[in-house]
Structure 1
Amino acid sequence: MPTPPITELTTRAREIFRLVVEGYLDTGTPVGSKALAGAGGVNLSPASIRSVLADLESLGLLAAPHTSAGRLPTEAGLRLFVDGIMQMAEPSIEERQAIERGLSAPGPIEAALEATSSLLSNLTSSAGLVMVPRREPRLSHLQLVPLAPGRALAVVVGDDGAVENRVVDLPDDLTQGSLEQASNFISAHLKGRTFGEATRLMQAEITSGKAELDAASRELVERGIAVWSEDALERPVLIVRGQANLLDESTLSDLERVRSLLDDLENKQSVAELLESAREARSTRIFIGSENRLFALSGSSVIASPYRDRDGKVVGVVGVIGPTRLNYARVVPMVDFTARSLGKLIG
């Protein structure tokens, strides 16, 4: 059944629905008619409240667990609440200062990104996520070192001094001379270029016959190009911090869900793909439960916001993941503020 728009709910139903959702998000437990009729609640009898709760349940907005007489919001109900009722609570001065202080610490941008992920985790009691800008390093040197028959270690040095090691399969009949020839050829074309730039140049020379390589060396270069290209495309650039926050007392009765969530977080490539879908959003995106395929089984929510450089270009995504009963009104503005602060830092 399609979820009704919030305008189709009566004032009474809307108020009761709001109280149920806010009560559930605050306590993590179903909310009953007696609690709703109590102090600060609805000025109706428990019987009248139960009637409205039943109507909201029939609309697919609330559900009644077998173990409780209370109600809790469904994923459709949470979506309706987030889109139509929720009142945002801007980060406090202390929270804003903590975020800005954490991002202003001296050091490389990678350290700031790690700090961002940890900050969000600590402030929201969830797991913090930061997708790092896709930045291809420019390279300085490559050396192929034999490991064993049929395998070599490619030691790649960036112009910033960073070193990466990648294993490359070798032709069985490769000679030491061919290995050295391939190393020299690749190094000559890598210097000062990204992998993508160097790859295009090497492929063009090999295709045109300009490359002075024997057959074995040429095959090694082509194998290396395939390995590096695949690695650059599939290597997730994702920082996750605070997974331990997902294991609080409220999760002890639902360990299977948490285990599923932690397994999902291990698959960083899939998480990066989910965050990638938030790159083109104009503002913070909220994925609730089964709205995203990756976390459908664990019943988790993701709040993600793109961060931009000084020119307004999206360079990455920052966010949090936690149970569907996240405090959306507090966390959404906090993620948004963090994204804007990170954008100012990137420049």
Structure 2
Amino acid sequence: MASPPITELTDRARDIFRLVVEDYLASGLPVGSKALAQHEAVNLSSASIRSVLSELEQLGLLAAPHTSAGRMPTESGLRMFVDGIMQVAEPTREERAAIEQQLSAPGPIEAALEKTSAILSNISGAAGMVMVPRREPTLAQMRLVPLDETRALAVLVGEDGHVENRVLELGPGISASAMQEAGNYVTARLAGRTLAEAARAMQSEIASGKSKLDDVSSHLVEAGIAVWSEDSARRPVLIVRGQANLLDDAALGDIERVRSLLDDLENKQSVAQLLDSAREAESARIFIGAENRLFALSGSSVIAAPYRDREGKVVGVLGVIGPTRLNYARVVPMVDFTARSLGKRIG
């Protein structure tokens, strides 16, 4: 059932609901009426508190586990809390300085990305994730080397020295001279261009008839470019640190959930796709439990935020994943701040 808007709750129900969620997020345990009655802010009898808890349960905001008389928030309840009640705890000056200091240390960008995932893990007490910026390879050279009558090896060399070797399936009768012509044509048009830019320019030339290549060489050019471009898009680089945090004492009672989560994390392609859905967000996005299909079975939450370069261009996404009882009020602003700090480091 759909949960009601927060404005439809009475002040009393709203206060009890907030306390239940906050206590649950702090302890990971269901919250009972006796514990609530001990809060200074609650001026109700245990019977009245139980009545409110029952009302919130009927609204689908709280649930009572079989092993306890206490209540815990449902995923719908957590969503309402995050969207309508939660007061974020901004990072302290010391926390901000510590994050910026770690990310500003000299060294390769790969080291900064590793540090970022570790920082996020420490912040959340869960697992930290960073999706490496999509590479925009700048090609320096392409060669096509015949392997046999129907296959050739496309050797693509980037300006950074990175080399990709891919096997092309070709039709019969393609000569070595046609392969050399295609490789020379691509190499001559690569200066200062990314792969995507070079591909667009060459395909435009070929389509308009401006290219002097014959049909066979044109096919080789398009096939060679497509191989590298497609492969790069299919192999996202994802850094995950802190999986061990998911195996704490509180998780031992629900080891199947944790095992499911660890299995999900092994599927890096799907995790990267989930993170990628946060690329257009202005700040952190929160996915709670079944709100994302990937982690629905493990009942996990993801907090993800894009990070941008100095020009404001989104170059990647970072975040944390853990049980739904993450400390959202603390983790959300920390994820946002870490994303901004990493963006400054990338430049």
TM-score, length-scaled by structure 1:
0.88
Partner of residue 165, structure 1:
165
Per-residue CA distance 1:178-207 (angstroms, 9 max, x = gap): 444433333233343221122223323444
Superposition pairs of residues 140-219 of structure 1, within 5 angstroms:
140-145=140-145, 150-209=150-209, 211=211, 213=213, 216-219=216-219
1:199-251 C-alpha deviation (Å, 9 max, x unpaired): 22332344455555565544433322332232243332543332332222222
Q: CA deviation at 1:55?
A: 0.5
Give the aligned residue type for 2:77.
Answer: G
Q: Which residue of 2 aligns with 1:231?
A: 231
Q: Is the 8 A contact 1:178 1:217 kept in 2?
A: yes
Moved more, 311-320 or 170-179: 170-179
Q: Does 1:261 align with 2:229?
A: no
Q: Distance in 2 between matches of 1:33 and 1:258?
A: 29
Would the alpha carbon gap of residues 145 and 263 (structure 1) be closer, same or farther in structure 2, given more than 3 Å must change?
farther
Structure 2 equivalent of residue 87 of structure 1: 87
Q: Which residue identity does 1:305 align to in structure 2?
A: A
CA distance in 2, matches of 1:98, 1:304: 21
Letter of the 1:193 partner, please give it: R
The corresponding residue for 2:96 is 96
CA, structure 1 residues 323+145, in 2 after alignment: closer, same or farther (shift >3 Å)? farther
Task: Give SS of 2:189's match.
Answer: helix
Q: Supply the AA of the counterpart residue of 2:38.
A: G
Aligned-partner residue type, residue 288 of structure 1: I
Paired AA for residue 57 in structure 1 = E
Name stretches of at least 5 consecutive residues in structure 1 with no aligned partner.
none
- Structure 1 distance, partners of 2:53, 2:204, is 69
Structure 1 range deviating more: 174-183 or 185-194: 174-183
Distance 2:243 2:216 in 1: 47
The range that moved more, 189-198 or 66-75, is: 189-198
Inter-CA distance 184–311: structure 2 relative to 1 (3 Å threshold): closer
Cα deviation for residue 328 of structure 1 reads 0.4
1:171–1:220 contact (8 Å) kept in structure 2 = no
Q: Which amino acid aligns with 1:123?
A: I
Q: Which secondary structure state, in structure 2, belongs to the residue aligned with residue 190 of structure 1?
A: coil
Once residues 333 and 173 of structure 2 are traced to their aligned partners in structure 1, the CA distance between those partners, rounded to angstroms, is 60
Alpha-carbon distance between aligned partners in 1 of 2:57 and 2:140, rounded to the nearest angstrom? 63
Stretch deviating more after TM superposition (296-305 or 187-196): 187-196
Deviation at 1:53, TM superposition (A): 0.7
Partner of 1:314: 314
Q: Match for residue 273 of structure 1? A: 273
Deviation sequence 1:18-42 (CA, Å, 0-9, x none): 1211121112121112222236573
1:303 aligns with 2:303: yes
Deviation for aligned residue 1:141: 1.4
The separation in 1 between residues aligned to 2:157 and 2:224, in whole angstroms, is: 15
Match of 2:48 in 1: 48
**AA at the equivalent of 2:137:** P
Give 1:291's aligned amino acid: E
Cα drift, residue 146 of structure 1: 5.2
Number of corresponding residues: 347
Answering whether residue 60 of structure 2 is matched by residue 60 of structure 1, we say yes
Deviations 1:141-181 (A, max 9, x none): 12334567754443322212233333433445444444444
Q: Give the match's secondary structure for 1:53.
A: helix
Partner of 2:285: 285
CA contact (8 A) 1:24 1:325 kept: yes
* Offset, 1:317: 2.4
Quote the Cα distance in structure 2 between the aligned partners of 1:134 and 1:291: 26
Cα distance in 2, alignment partners of residues 136 and 124 from structure 1:
31
Residue identity opposite 2:334 in structure 1 = M
Q: What is the letter of the counterpart of residue 204 of structure 1?
A: S
Could you list the runs of 5+ residues in structure 2 that have no partner in the other structure?
Answer: none
Q: Which shows bigger deviation, 48-57 or 187-196?
A: 187-196
Answer whether contact 2:135 2:232 (CA < 8 A) is retained: no
How far off its partner does 1:51 sit? Answer: 1.2
TM-score, reference length from structure 2: 0.88
Shifted more, 54-63 versus 130-139: the winner is 130-139
Match of 2:16 in 1: 16
Q: Is the 8 A contact 1:35 1:41 kept in 2?
A: no
Aligned-residue identity in percent: 73
Distance 2:217 2:38 in 1: 80
Corresponding residue number in structure 1 for 2:345: 345
Does the Cα contact within 8 Å between 1:169 and 1:223 map onto a contact in 2? no
- Is 1:323 matched with 2:323? yes
- What is the rounded CA distance, in whole Å, between the counterparts of 1:250 and 1:171 in structure 2? 60
Give the CA deviation at 1:63.
0.4
Q: What does residue 71 of structure 2 align with?
A: 71
Change (3 A) 1:66 1:165: same
1:184 and 1:297 mapped to 2: Cα distance? Answer: 52
CA distance in 2, matches of 1:86, 1:17: 11
